Structure 1
Amino acid sequence: MDVPRTFLARSIGYAAAALLVATATATAGAPAVAEPADAPVENGGLLRSVKTDLLAGAIPTGVKATSVTYRSSDTRGKPVATTGIVMVPASKWTGRGPRPLVTYAVGTHGSDPSCRPSQLLTRGLTTDRSGVPMIELQLLDVASLLTRGFAVTMTDFQGTEAPGRLPYLQPIPQAHAVLDAARAAISVGAVDRRAPVGIWGYSQGGGAAAAAAEQAKSYAPELNIRGSVVGAPPTNPARTMMFNEGKLSAGVIGYFVNGVRAEYPQLAPKIDAKLNSQGRDFLRKTAGECLVGSVVGHYFRSTKGMTVSGRPLIEELASDPEINSVFQSFVMGRTAPSHPVLLMQNVNDDVVPADDANATADAWKRGGTNVARANINTPSLPPIGAPGHAVGLVTGNIAVNWLAGRLTQ
C-alpha cells in the first residue's frame, strides 16, 4: 500500500523528535536575530549577543551558551549579518596554554530558518514550512568537544534568516561564516585571542571546513589555527548534486539551486527559463524545508521532470556557459591550507563522491599541506543516498582525538 508522503513525513519527523524532546527543556534565552550588517564593526564583530540555555540531557551540564549575531561578508565582500551560538564549559581550563576553540560547521540542516543549529540546540525541536519537525543531528560531536574542555562556536551559515537564501555548498560565504564565528567567539570573551583554534565539519560542514582551511591565511590570518578536520567534503558541489540525482537525498538539489539564485541574482532569469512548473514548485518547497522534510518529501525523486528539456536539473543548468562558470568557481583544491588537515571520507560514500574529496586532498598535498587521512572503509552499500554517508557521523572520536593532539600541544 502507498503511504502518502505528507503522512510519512510527519510520522518520521515526530518519531525522531520524540527521542530528543524526552530529555529537552524549554530555553530561557532568545536566540540572536538579524541586525544591520553595516554596523561599524569588523568581520567577526558582534552585532548582538544573548545568554541562552542549552538542552538539558543532550549537552554536558555546566556549559555556558551565548547566541550571537556577528558580521561576516558574502561572496562579493559585502557585509552580512550571520547568527550562531558559542558554548564554553563553566569549569576552569586546566590544560596547557589558553582554552582551545573549535569552530564547528554542521552538515546539511536545510534551507528554512527553523533549521538553524543555534535554535535546535536551545529549543530542541523546530518545525519547517512543510510541517515536518527537525532536531539537531550532531549533538554527539558537540558534546564530545565540550567534555574535553574546549569552547565550541557554531555558525548558522549566511542566508538562514529567510527561506531559500542559504548559499548551500558555496565555498566563499561558508568559509567566511565559519572563520567569522571563531572571531565572534573571541569577541564575546569565550577564549583568549591567542587561543589555539581548530576547524571541524562533516558533509556540508566538511565542505565549509575545507573552504575555511583554504581561506584562513588570507581571510583570518590573526586566528591561531592549528588544524582542520574535513569530513566527507563536497569539494565539487555541482558534481555532488548530480551524484544525488534520484536518491533519498535528492531534495538537497533544491537547496543548491535556490542558493545560486540568491547569491547570483543575475543568473535567476536563466535558471527560471529552464524550469517547468514542477521545477518551480520543487524550488519553492525546498526553500522552506529542513533536511528531514526534504528527505521524506522528495525521496528518490528525479529532476528530469522539472526541466523544459527533460534533462536532470543540474546537467541542464550546467549546459549554460555562464551558470557553469559559477559552478566551476565552487570547485576547491586551488589553494593549499597553511595548517595540517585530517580528511575523513568513506570510500563508499553515496552522497559525496569520494573521488572529489581525495582529488582535493591530493592537490593540497602538492601545495605543501600536511594532509592525514582517515578512510572509512565500509562494505559497499546500496547507493541510495544515505547509509554510506551517514556512517561518518559516528566516527567523531577520531576527529576529536586528532584535534586534541594539535590544540593542546
Structure 2
Amino acid sequence: MIAGVAGYAVNGALTRYPELGPLMDRYLNDEGKRYLAATADECIGQSVENWEKTDTRTLTVDGRSLAEILQQDPQVNAVFTGPNYRLDDRALNAPMLLINALHDDTIPYGQARELADAYRGLGGTVDFVTDPLPEMMPQTAMNHAIPMFSQAGTAFEWLVDRFNGVPAGA
C-alpha cells in the first residue's frame, strides 16, 4: 500500500545527488516520471491513494523494479548504500525508542532488531519495544501502521520520562 515510499527515497537522492537525474530519466518510462514528480511532494495518505500496490516494474523502461536498478547500476547503488543512507554507521547523539511489530509487513522485525543492536554496538542507548499484535491483513501495511496507535502510550511515556530526567535504557 505504500509503494510511494520508493518515490520519496528516489526524490531524496535526486535532491542530494542531482547527477543521478539523467540516469533516472533513462530508466523511467512516462508513468515512472509522473510517479517521481507526484511523490516529490505527496504525503503518505496521498501516496497510498495514488500509488497503492504499484509494482515499480511498471514504471521503468525495461521492466526492472526500482530495487533491481538500485542493485545493478553502480552509480545508483553507491548513493543508496553510501554513508548518507545507512542509519547504523554513526553513533547516536541521544537515546532512541524503536518500536516494531513482530509481524510488520513494511519494515521486517529482524531488520529493526538489527538496527537497534547496531546502534547499541556503537554505544548508543536504544529502548526496543516489540508490538506483539497478531498478523492482520498481510501486504496492506496494517501490521506496520496499527502499532503507531497501539504503542502511542508507550512512546508518550518514554518521551515524558526523558523530559523528567529519567534515563533511557533503565
TM-score by length of 1: 0.38
Contact 1:318 1:327 in 2 (8 A): no
Q: How far apart are residue 361 of structure 1 and its match?
A: 0.8
Q: How far apart are residue 338 of structure 1 and its match?
A: 4.6
As a proportion of its length, which structure holds more strand? 1
- Say whether residues 1:350 and 2:93 are aligned partners: no
% of aligned pairs identical?
Answer: 36
> What secondary structure does 2:127 align onto?
strand
Contact 1:340 1:369 in 2 (8 A): yes
Equivalent residues, number: 162
As a proportion of its length, which structure holds more helix? 2
- Say whether residues 1:365 and 2:124 are aligned partners: no
- For 1:374, the equivalent position in structure 2 comes to 129
Q: How far apart are residue 287 of structure 1 and its match?
A: 2.7
- Say whether residues 1:318 and 2:71 are aligned partners: yes
- For 2:9, the equivalent position in structure 1 comes to 256
> What secondary structure does 2:81 align onto?
helix
CA deviations on 1:40-76 (whole Å, 9 max, x unpaired) are: xxxxxxxxxxxxxxxxxxxxxxxxxxxxxxxxxxxxx
Larger Rg: 1
- Say whether residues 1:390 and 2:148 are aligned partners: no
Query: Which amino acid is 2:160 matched to?
Result: A
CA deviations on 1:182-238 (whole Å, 9 max, x unpaired) are: xxxxxxxxxxxxxxxxxxxxxxxxxxxxxxxxxxxxxxxxxxxxxxxxxxxxxxxxx
**Structure 1: distance between partners of 2:21 and 2:131:** 39
Q: What is the aligned-residue RMSD (CA, Å)?
A: 1.8
**Structure 2: distance between partners of 1:276 and 1:401:** 47
Q: How far apart are residue 288 of structure 1 and its match?
A: 4.4
**Structure 2: distance between partners of 1:286 and 1:338:** 31
- Say whether residues 1:399 and 2:155 are aligned partners: yes
Contact 1:348 1:378 in 2 (8 A): yes
**Structure 2: distance between partners of 1:338 and 1:305:** 41
Contact 1:271 1:317 in 2 (8 A): no
Unaligned runs of 5+ in 1: 1-247
Contact 1:307 1:316 in 2 (8 A): no
- Say whether residues 1:277 and 2:30 are aligned partners: yes
Unaligned runs of 5+ in 2: 166-170
Contact 1:348 1:380 in 2 (8 A): yes
Query: Which amino acid is 1:304 matched to?
Result: R
- For 2:50, the equivalent position in structure 1 comes to 297
What does 1:94-173 correspond to in 2, within 5 Å? none
TM-score by length of 2: 0.85
> What secondary structure does 2:139 align onto?
coil
